[in-house]
Chain A
Amino acid sequence: EDKVVQSPLSLVVHEGDTVTLNCSYEVTNFRSLLWYKQEKKAPTFLFMLTSSGIEKKSGRLSSISDKKELFSILNITATQTGDSAVYLCAVATGTASKLTFGTGTRLQVTL
């Protein structure tokens, strides 16, 4: 059974802090690892990682994965209140239509 585990479950930081969110997985036939941000309703896509050791960046967010050690991290620098959300990690396997999600990390950024 495919498994994705995220840590920590929740996190409270002050605006301006840097945070690191973790995602580890045990799956068969790995295709890609994806990060999503979920605020009120629908998850919105952040990154897709298919190769080990290659960092993806978008503004203050960055992510990297290690296919040998089976984990990924999502970094957010200079956090803002608008970063408050649940961050979801998912792994695509097989045909890539099969996605297994972790239960998410709830991030709260306070003033």
Chain B
Amino acid sequence: EAQVTQNPRYLITVTGKKLTVTCSQNMNHEYMSWYRQDPGLGLRQIYYSMNVEVTDKGDVPEGYKVSRKEKRNFPLILESPSPNQTSLYFCASSLSVWGGYTFGSGTRLTVV
């Protein structure tokens, strides 16, 4: 089944403890992105990648890192999480340069 898989689905962590949210797609898509969704603010793009080793900042990259060492994987790294990073995170991928993205099921992160 063609899909984008994120893990974990839920995560509660403490301020400052490094964490990684994994994202993997099995559709051979070149384009991948991370978003966070907050009430009243909608979906905001954190980072995106156009291919292996090619990444760029979205609208809210502060406090996040990404890497794209393989085509299928695009992990999101929070080196020192803070409570304002409590959010619902989505990974998405697209084959088309025009942007018809497939989204993962989301990761709900709480930083206390």
Contacts and interface: CB of A to CB of B under 8 A. Distances in A.
A binds B: yes
Interface stretch (B17-25, B35-43, B76-84): B35-43
B42 A99 contact: no
A101 B42 contact: yes
B30 to A, nearest CB: 9
A53 interface: no
B44 A101 contact: yes
A100 B58 CA distance: 9
B98 A32 contact: yes
A48 interface: yes
Interface residues of A, number: 24
Contact of A88 (B42, B96, B102): B42
Nearest to A46: B100
A98 B42 contact: no
A43 B97 CA distance: 19
Most buried by A among B41, B44, B49, B100: B100
B59 A41 contact: no
B100 A97 contact: no
A7 B77 CA distance: 34
B32 to A, nearest CB: 8
B99 A103 contact: no
B105 A95 contact: no
Contacts of B96: 48, 96
Contact of A92 (B49, B59, B99): B99
A95 B98 contact: no
Contacts of A100: 45, 59
A10 interface: no
Given A41-B105, A42-B90, A96 B99 contact: yes
Given A88-B42, A104-B42, 14 more contacts: A31-B99, A42-B103, A42-B106, A43-B43, A45-B100, A90-B43, A95-B50, A96-B94, A98-B48, A99-B33, A99-B101, A101-B42, A101-B44, A103-B42
